[in-house]
Amino acid sequence: MPAKGKHRRPKLRLISRGAAFAGVSGVAIAVPLIGASAASAAGSAPQTAHQTGVRAEVAAAGTAKAEATTYAVVAGDSLAKIAEQHAVSGGWEKLYEDNREAVGGNPHFILPGLELALGAKAETSDPKESDSGNKASTASVTSYPDNLDGWIRESLDIMAEQGIPGTYDGIYRNIMRESAGDPQAINNWDSNAAAGTPSKGLLQVIAPTFEAYHVPGTSTDSFDPVANITAACNYAADRYGSIDNVYGPY
């Protein structure tokens, strides 16, 4: 963490960029059927070229709506953020599944400029149904390994909900520099420690900074890996734009 005084005056700020995960049922496109009596009455009538053309256009329009569109990744994006913004049915998991070859083995690390295929958008006309779907999607992603990889992945999902930028690579790089991956790491020798506020945890956060940038819903213990990561990334986003922009003491 920074030299003397760098975090001593925390800057309080509200997180207003929250955002939840999308995960509702996909759109079903159907062409109305002709009633039995109408079909019987019109059964002997020959189809004109115009009628045939109209039906072909309707079918083509339905197909076009069902086809996937593409999205170009920009800095600060995550699969969860993109899935939420574009109402992708199935959430970020489906987005990753559809683009696994392009994204690679790490769904939490996507490079700017990457072209992603977006499937059919989710139906959002009923707010109650959408809210129910969002809760179900979020609840389905609740298991993370109790190790560095799992802590980073859980933090990234929370950050995506809160609108806090950052990537797996940026977080991992800074953790290895600050604590070598030890969630119980503490600095008892620098100027912050001498002032009574030693840097703690994976990303070496001092108490005033942790309290000012603590993310609701995470532990209030600064040694907690997920709470430590999300608070540090929240601070880094406020001061540097993203944890990805941090390459030294911050």
Once rounded to an integer, what is the mean pLDDT over residues 173-190? 96
99 domain-assigned:
yes
158 has a pLDDT exceeding 60: yes
| Residue among 198, 189, 250 at smallest CA distance from 223 | 198
Residue 245 lies in a domain: yes
Closest CA to 225 of 152, 139, 142, 133: 152
Range of the domain at 80: 54-140
Q: How far is CA 49 from the centre of its chain?
A: 49
The pLDDT of residue 58: 43
Average pLDDT estimate for 216-231:
96
76 & 166 share domain: no
> To the nearest whole number, what is the mean pLDDT of the chain?
74
* Residue where a domain stops, chosen among 105, 140, 175: 140
Read off the pLDDT band of 174 (50, 70, 90): very high
Spatial neighbors of 155 by CB under 8 A, at least 6 apart, are 171, 225, 226, 229, 230, 233
Residue 170 in 3-state DSSP? helix
Residues 6+ apart with CB under 8 A from 34: 42
Gap between the Cα atoms of 22 and 79, Å rounded: 11
Residues 89 and 134 in one domain: yes
The domain that holds 87 is classified in CATH as: 3.10.350
Give the mean pLDDT of 89-118. Answer: 84
Name which residue leads in pLDDT, 135 or 102.
Answer: 102
- Mean pLDDT calculated for residue range 115-138: 53
Q: 12 or 227: which carries more pLDDT confidence?
A: 227
State the Cα–Cα distance between residues 7 and 237, nearest whole angstrom.
Answer: 14
Question: Do 128 and 172 share a domain, yes or no?
Answer: no
- What is the spatial distance between Cα 241 and Cα 121, in angstroms, rounded to a whole number? 30
- 2 and 71 co-located in one domain: no
pLDDT band at 169 (very low <50, low <70, confident <90, very high): very high
For residues 231 and 171, membership in a common domain is answered with yes
Average pLDDT (185-199) is: 95
The answer to whether residues 148 and 246 belong to one domain is yes
**C-alpha–C-alpha distance, residues 103 and 106, integer Å:** 7
Greater pLDDT, 81 or 152: 152
How far apart are the C-alpha atoms of 218 and 228, rounded to whole Å?
9
Angle between helices 168-178 and 225-240 (to 10 degrees): 110
Question: Per the structure, how many domains does the chain have?
Answer: 2
* Residue 40: both structure tokens together: 């019987």
Over residues 75-90, the mean pLDDT reads: 85
State residue 104's pLDDT score. Answer: 80
| Mean pLDDT value across residues 22-44 | 39
Indicate the pLDDT class of residue 45, thresholds 50, 70 and 90. Answer: very low
175 lies in some domain: yes
